[in-house]
């Protein structure tokens, strides 16, 4: 054998939830799984032996919904993800701008709507630190942007500018643009930013790959590929043999472009198989998010007649899904509100009736609100709930920016992970990085406790919707592998599968080892080769 790991807890993530003690790897694949007592038989003169000392081994984590290429590029810009107040954001922006006098535009991302009154930062605040240069900052969830007066002026946005379709320009009491742009209104300014280069895209992919491997992740599903340099960067990195991540890519189905875009998507998909890269999916944004009233609801937001924004009318959505399904795309839909979820399930139902059923593994991402009538439809249609576990806890987003506007009845069924599992659905987890951290361990903590590791003193959010730890671990490995079409080769620890593995610093199955969010990744293997190793391990 090339490698033997022994003396640990090997969580196999198979259906039986087997926990073994040791495993052996040969030629990049798992060759044997068993007890520590038997492991010695597999150790030869050339075998590398790793004593686990009780630590946990899991299949490599798989992130079923994230935006790694853009995230990797963002890491080179002004990152506000750790700035959790208005003052901290402005200080970080001022420091970054001072460090980068060469930049024509100052841009970045990661501000949080709960750092600002009404979730809408003002142009005046940004003008105070950036009076001369235009500035553009995406918020953490990617559904809004903060701009300064210079940027608004360059884009020609005034009190007279109408809201674009699918978007909204936040305005002050006098009707003047206030500084926050929602959804499609962001494009009015974003299109003026200097274009990104091929080198920046490739560096973004590689930076994200390093970041994810350090967190134990060995496969990701890129939820949206719509820039020509994005696919080209993946291909270039894969062709050079530098892609150690298994990548499933989704091409964007653009609203308003209709069926004419199909030919282009089919041609791009045909280019998408190099090394560990596969393109199989098409992504559709069905709605926005609840915090800015763009999530689509079956009943209006409290005290309004606003049902949110459906990006497509129902027949248009159904037509898109039927056509994509008939061309064997895996359809991946962003669905936050209960109306978006219902429209998406109806469209998938129509596609299966029109085209027949195949092993399509269509999936709906995020699922903040699902009407109880729709819960059993996931199992019935074989549609995968691809949920973002980190969001299912009390936070400013939930308590201040969502619950008051959807009311108590709907608030009592937010992020219904437990209900979906009880209704027979096959869950997958996706971080939505850089919207949220890509670290699977805090995400797992929220999945099992419904409490954020950052605010462990808070009560759980709807504890009946929590998952038990083995189910959550299996969701982040085998569950995500299934929606990534990688379950034949990865996602569980079984003889014959690829040795994509992660070693954690403790026995996470032992309740005495503390919250799983405190655990750390020591070693990440792809086909038996280390792609991340903590120096403490002496690898
Ligand atoms: Zn996303």
CA of 52 to the centre of ligand 1 (A): 36
CA of 331 to the centre of ligand 1 (A): 14
pLDDT for residue 280: 96
CA of 65 to the centre of ligand 1 (A): 6
CA of 252 to the centre of ligand 1 (A): 12
- DSSP 8-state code for residue 393: S
pLDDT tens-place string over residues 268-317: 999 989 999 999 999 999 999 888 888 999 999 999 999 998 899 999 99
Q: What does the alpha-carbon distance between residue 162 and residue 180 come to, in Å, rounded to a whole number?
A: 14
CA of 506 to the centre of ligand 1 (A): 31
CA of 528 to the centre of ligand 1 (A): 30
CA of 426 to the centre of ligand 1 (A): 20
CA of 93 to the centre of ligand 1 (A): 25
Q: Which residues neighbour 226 within 8 Å (Cβ) at sequence distance 6 or greater? A: 251, 252, 254
CA of 113 to the centre of ligand 1 (A): 17
Q: What does the alpha-carbon distance between residue 426 and residue 48 come to, in Å, rounded to a whole number?
A: 37
CA of 429 to the centre of ligand 1 (A): 12
CA of 479 to the centre of ligand 1 (A): 18
pLDDT for residue 435: 84
8 A C-beta contact, residue 347 and residue 324: no
pLDDT tens-place string over residues 108-120: 999 999 899 999 9
CA of 348 to the centre of ligand 1 (A): 20
Residue 19 φ/ψ region, left for φ over 0, alpha for ψ in the -120 to 50 degree band, beta for the rest: beta
Quickly list H helices, 16-161. 36-39, 68-74, 86-99, 123-129, 149-155
CA of 220 to the centre of ligand 1 (A): 12
What is the CA 172 to chain-centroid distance, rounded?
33
Q: What does the alpha-carbon distance between residue 163 and residue 24 come to, in Å, rounded to a whole number?
A: 60
Q: Which residues neighbour 119 within 8 Å (Cβ) at sequence distance 6 or greater? A: 113, 144, 180, 291, 292, 401
CA of 67 to the centre of ligand 1 (A): 6
CA of 23 to the centre of ligand 1 (A): 35
pLDDT for residue 319: 96
CA of 64 to the centre of ligand 1 (A): 10
Q: What is the pTM of this model?
A: 0.90
Q: What does the alpha-carbon distance between residue 497 and residue 493 come to, in Å, rounded to a whole number?
A: 7
CA of 49 to the centre of ligand 1 (A): 40
Q: Which residues of the chain have pLDDT under 50?
A: none
CA of 222 to the centre of ligand 1 (A): 9
pLDDT for residue 140: 87
8 A C-beta contact, residue 273 and residue 485: no
CA of 223 to the centre of ligand 1 (A): 6
CA of 399 to the centre of ligand 1 (A): 22
pLDDT for residue 397: 87
Nearest to 482 by CA among 428, 416, 424: 428
Q: What does the alpha-carbon distance between residue 317 and residue 143 come to, in Å, rounded to a whole number?
A: 20
pLDDT for residue 434: 86
CA of 254 to the centre of ligand 1 (A): 15
Those residues whose beta carbon sits under 5 angstroms from the ion ligand 1 are: 223, 432
pLDDT for residue 87: 97
CA of 142 to the centre of ligand 1 (A): 8
pLDDT for residue 320: 97
Residue 77 φ/ψ region, left for φ over 0, alpha for ψ in the -120 to 50 degree band, beta for the rest: beta
What is the CA 238 to chain-centroid distance, rounded?
22
Quickly list H helices, 334-414. 338-355, 375-381, 396-399, 403-411
CA of 503 to the centre of ligand 1 (A): 28
Q: Which residues neighbour 106 within 8 Å (Cβ) at sequence distance 6 or greater? A: 78, 93, 96, 97, 100, 130, 133, 134, 135, 136
pLDDT for residue 538: 82
- DSSP 8-state code for residue 477: I
CA of 431 to the centre of ligand 1 (A): 8
């Amino acid at each position: 054998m090339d490698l033997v790991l022994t003396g640990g807890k090997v969580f196999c993530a198979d259906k039986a939830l087997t926990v073994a003690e040791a495993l052996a790897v040969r030629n990049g694949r798992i060759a044997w799984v068993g007890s520590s007592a038997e492991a010695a038989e597999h150790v030869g003169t050339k075998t590398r032996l790793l004593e686990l000392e009780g630590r946990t081994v899991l299949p490599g984590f798989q992130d079923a919904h994230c935006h790694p290429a853009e995230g990797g590029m963002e890491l080179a810009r002004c990152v506000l993800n750790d700035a959790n107040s208005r003052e901290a954001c402005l200080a970080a922006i001022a420091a970054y701008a001072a460090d980068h006098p060469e930049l024509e535009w100052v841009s970045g991302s990661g501000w949080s709507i709960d750092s600002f009154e009404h979730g809408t930062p003002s142009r005046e605040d940004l003008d105070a630190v950036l009076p001369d240069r235009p500035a553009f900052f995406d918020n953490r969830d990617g559904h809004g942007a903060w701009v300064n007066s210079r940027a608004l002026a360059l884009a020609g946005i005034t009190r007279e500018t109408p809201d674009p379709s699918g978007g909204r320009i936040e305005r002050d009491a006098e009707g003047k643009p206030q500084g926050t742009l929602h959804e499609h209104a962001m494009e009015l300014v974003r299109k003026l930013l200097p274009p990104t280069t091929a080198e920046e895209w490739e560096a973004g992919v590689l930076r994200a790959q390093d970041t994810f491997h350090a967190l134990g992740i060995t496969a990701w599903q890129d939820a949206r590929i719509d820039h020509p340099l994005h696919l080209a960067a993946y291909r270039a990195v894969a062709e050079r043999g530098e892609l150690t991540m298994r990548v499933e890519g989704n091409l964007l189905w653009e609203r308003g472009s209709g069926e004419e875009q199909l030919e282009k998507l089919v041609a791009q998909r045909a280019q998408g198989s190099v090394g560990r890269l596969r393109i199989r999916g098409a992504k559709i944004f069905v709605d926005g998010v609840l915090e800015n009233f763009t999530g689509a609801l079956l009943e209006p937001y409290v005290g309004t007649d606003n049902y949110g924004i459906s990006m497509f009318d129902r027949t248009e959505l159904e037509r898109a899904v039927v056509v994509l399904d008939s061309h064997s795309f895996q359809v991946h839909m962003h669905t936050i509100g209960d109306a978006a979820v219902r429209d998406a399930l109806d469209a998938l139902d129509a596609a299966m009736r029109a085209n027949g059923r195949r092993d399509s593994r269509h999936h709906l991402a995020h699922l903040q609100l699902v009407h109880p009538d729709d819960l059993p439809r996931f199992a019935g249609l074989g549609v995968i709930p691809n949920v973002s576990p980190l969001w299912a806890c009390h936070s400013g987003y939930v308590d201040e920016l969502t619950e008051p506007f959807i009311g108590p009845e709907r608030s009592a069924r937010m992020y219904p992970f437990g209900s979906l599992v009880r209704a027979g659905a096959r869950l997958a987890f996706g971080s939505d990085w850089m919207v949220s951290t890509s670290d699977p361990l805090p995400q797992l903590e929220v999945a099992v406790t419904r409490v954020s590791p950052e605010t462990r003193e808070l009560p759980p959010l709807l504890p009946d919707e929590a998952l038990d730890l083995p189910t959550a671990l299996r969701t982040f490995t085998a569950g995500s592998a299934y929606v990534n079409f990688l379950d034949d080769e990865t996602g569980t620890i079984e003889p014959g599968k690829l040795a994509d593995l992660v070693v954690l610093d403790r026995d996470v199955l032992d309740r005495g080892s503390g919250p799983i969010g405190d655990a750390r990744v020591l070693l990440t293997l792809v086909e038996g080769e280390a792609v991340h190793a903590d120096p403490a391990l002496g690898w």
